[in-house]
Amino acid sequence: MKNLILILIIFLCVGCKKSPFENFEIEKVWPDPTVSLKDFKSTILGNKNGWEFLIHNKGNNSMHYGYLNFKSENSSEFLSDFGPKYYNLTPSEINIQLVEINAGIVFPTRSKLSLFALESNVLDSIYIVKSLQNDTITLEGQTKRSTLTLIKVNESKLEKIRNNRIEVNKNALAKILKMPKFFFQLEHEGKKVDLDIDTVEKTFNLRYTVGDKLNIDVFNYYFDADGIKFHKNLIFNNKSFEKIIINSISESEALLTNGLKIINYKSPIFYDPMAIKVIEGTNISFGWGSTDGFSTRDKTDITKFKKIKNFSRFILFPRFDTDTIAKKDHGFMGILLRGDYVPGSDLPEVHIKSNNIIKFIPFKLAQNPSEELNVIETKKLLYPIIYNKIGFYVIQMRNGFFLVDARDALTWIYFQQAMS
């Protein structure tokens, strides 16, 4: 009897405990998708005129323009200003699908869009939706974090896209950049600034001074259906320019819309003296190397360095040593092969003129000159340029600088740091 009572007490105690399988409310720690896949598909496929797109590469800040027409959730046609093979409409597979929990777009492996992303080396092939507002959809790439913006196309815009002038406008800009002189100026209503056009990062760079300080305003551009458009309006001469169209091109200037003009000129308006200090160094300068030698707009290596067997670089030290007998400081100019210099390197006098032009004057050779025919030919071509009577502008750009012939700006050489 006692045992029976004990068993009943145990069962009663167990029955008083909470069930281990009782449901508890769990707090959600992941965000809801920004846009549902259903709403995204409906929006994307609902506009039969298609979508303009802008891809912003955050690495070099460049912009790529294009057009996407979604035929279904798995097929599309597209074009882009990235390169000639994409200027006209091209069919491609595409997937509108969930990417983890988010609505997104995927360029399938081996599709034309996937090859486009791969060739660019800066674009993604998987994008998820970040926002959908009115006629604009913003998506973010999942590897390189590029931004894809889709803008709804209307019928009038679609007609321009079908008859797009991307190739015409790209060729027109390329023609401007083939003008023979090194320097360009942008002019509007008589006001001028120095202009650099970077076709790699796709920027118009306006150089001007405020007091003694050089300022550079950078404006990203891309080629849309009918012109050269700026991501943020180009501001110049207190005016704002959303887009330019090239109307005509001559040997030395191009006339653009809205009264703008690009002029090819023999000297810069604003010349930065700091570049001289960089190249010159202090007591002993850095060594600077050029792999291409002197060039003109339409031809590289006009001094034929690359014809010399095992040529590596043309080396320049603006400050190198002092001749104790002649009591003269001198620089060094030598043709570097793989491991050694060609005999007869030049030891020139190097003068910085009051207008910050650098000038080289023959002084002496380091040893007897080489008797190799290709070296003799190179020096015969090199000396009239490097020892010209006026000298060179020093133009700092990216990781190096250009020496630009100050006589006419028709010849130049690009150097990067080679040794110290």
pLDDT in tens, the chain (420 residues): 545 454 444 444 545 544 444 544 545 444 566 689 999 999 999 999 999 999 988 777 788 999 999 999 999 999 999 989 999 999 999 999 999 899 999 999 999 999 999 998 878 999 999 999 889 999 999 998 999 999 999 999 999 999 999 999 999 999 999 999 999 999 999 999 999 999 988 999 999 888 777 889 999 999 999 899 999 999 999 999 999 999 999 999 999 999 999 999 999 999 888 888 888 765 556 789 999 999 999 999 999 999 999 999 999 999 899 999 999 999 999 999 987 999 999 999 999 999 999 999 999 999 999 999 999 999 999 999 999 999 999 998 878 899 999 999 999 999 998 865
The reported pLDDT for the residue numbered 33 is: 66
DSSP SS3 for 237: coil
Cβ neighbours of residue 414 closer than 8 Å, sequence gap 6 or more: 290, 292, 295, 397, 400, 401, 402
pTM of the model: 0.83
C-alpha–C-alpha distance, residues 338 and 343, integer Å: 14
C-alpha–C-alpha distance, residues 361 and 17, integer Å: 100
And the tokens for 97? 């699908």
Burial 260-274 (b: 16+ CB within 10 A, else e): bebbbbbebeebbee
Cβ neighbours of residue 19 closer than 8 Å, sequence gap 6 or more: none
The reported pLDDT for the residue numbered 10 is: 47
DSSP state of 299: B
Q: What angle (nearest 5°) sits at the alpha carbon of residue 220, between those of residues 259 and 105?
A: 130
Helix H or strand E segment including 417: strand 412-419
And the tokens for 51? 């979508």
Amino acid (one-letter) located at 128: I
And the tokens for 154? 């209307």
Other beta carbons less than 10 A from residue 325's beta carbon: 6
DSSP state of 146: -
Q: How many CA atoms lie within 13 A of 364 on its CB side?
A: 11
